[in-house]
Amino acid sequence: MNHKYIYSLYIILFIIIFLICITTTYLYSSDIFIFDNSNIKEHSFIFSNEEFCWPIPGFHKITSYFGPRVSPTNGASSNHSGIDVAAPQGTVLYAITSGKIIFTGFSGANGHTVKMQSGSLTILYCHVSPQYIVSVGDSISKGEQIANVGPKYIIDVLNNPYKDSTGKATNGALTGTHLHLTIKKDGIAVNPLDFFQ
Ligand SMILES: [Zn+2]
């Protein structure tokens, strides 16, 4: 046992502690990252930011996310072009940003729909009430009311091909009242939740 041996032992011990510290820091920080990420996806979208406001305050339950999915009902897409937010009929819907109304009307599987153009973005509010409160050409400001959540069943569309299992005509392809929100950038559907982080 000489000084040289003890010195080497200290060096080795130091290296081991150093490696443990590095590994722990790495694991810890990657845990934090995963936590932050899930937090954004699950909760942060409920908050508005400077450019966009949440279209349906008080309702944050996403019943169907953007992207591939199992089609929930006959005629509904298996590659979901937007998000669904469950809410009762009549719930007030707000313009997520400022823009111009370019369409109001029945639009196939989307049911009664309000379409707004804002720069390169086209924003679709689907399965809304047929009692439209905006008209084509209207300029709408961010946060202004744009529509109401529509009923599940409608009677105002002739030869409506969308029906429930009992044959009752529905407001597009849907299983319950909700807002379907689509955002297209230059004509291509993008994930609406990306706008509310
Ligand atoms: Zn939908």
Each of the 197 residues of the chain gets a pLDDT tens digit; together they read 567 777 777 777 766 666 654 554 444 443 333 333 333 344 444 556 678 999 999 999 999 999 887 777 777 777 899 999 999 999 999 999 999 999 999 999 999 999 999 999 999 999 999 999 999 999 999 999 999 999 999 999 999 999 999 999 999 999 999 999 999 999 999 999 999 86
Number of domains in the chain: 2
Indicate if 99 and 191 belong to the same structural domain. Answer: yes
Looking at the fold, whether 32 and 124 belong to one and the same domain comes out as: no
In a domain, 176, yes or no: yes
For residue 92, what is the domain's CATH number? 2.70.70.10
CA of 91 to the centre of ligand 1 (A): 16
For ligand 1, a single-atom ion, which residues have Cβ within 5 Å? 84, 180
Both 121 and 30 in one domain: the answer is no
Specify whether 108 is located in the same domain as 176: yes
Same domain, 125 and 191: yes
Give 174 Cα–ligand 1 centroid separation in angstroms. Answer: 8
Q: For residue 50, is it within any domain?
A: no
| Domain assignment of residue 68, given as a range | 62-195
Residue 100's nearest CA partner among 49, 35, 146, 166 is: 146
Centre of ligand 1 from the C-alpha of residue 140, in Å: 23
Residues 24, 85: one domain?
A: no
Using an 8 Å Cβ cutoff, are 115 and 128 in contact?
Answer: no
Q: Let me know whether 21 and 86 are in one domain.
A: no
Asked if residue 85 belongs to a domain, the reply is: yes
Q: In the prediction, which pLDDT does 48 show?
A: 63
Tell me, yes or no, whether 110 and 146 share the same domain. Answer: yes
Q: In this structure, are 37 and 67 located in the same domain?
A: no
The predicted structure's pLDDT at residue 16? 67
Distance 15 CA to ligand 1 centre (A): 56
53 inside domain: no
Give residue 2's pLDDT.
67
Q: Are 109 and 131 in contact (CB under 8 A)?
A: no
Does 152 lie in the same domain as 73? yes
Does a structural domain hold residue 172?
A: yes
Dist. CA 134 → ligand 1 center (Å): 22
Q: Going by C-beta distance under 8 Å and a sequence separation of 6 or more, which residues neighbour residue 63?
A: 84, 85, 86, 178
**What pLDDT sits at residue 101?**
98
Note whether residue 93 is domain-resident: yes
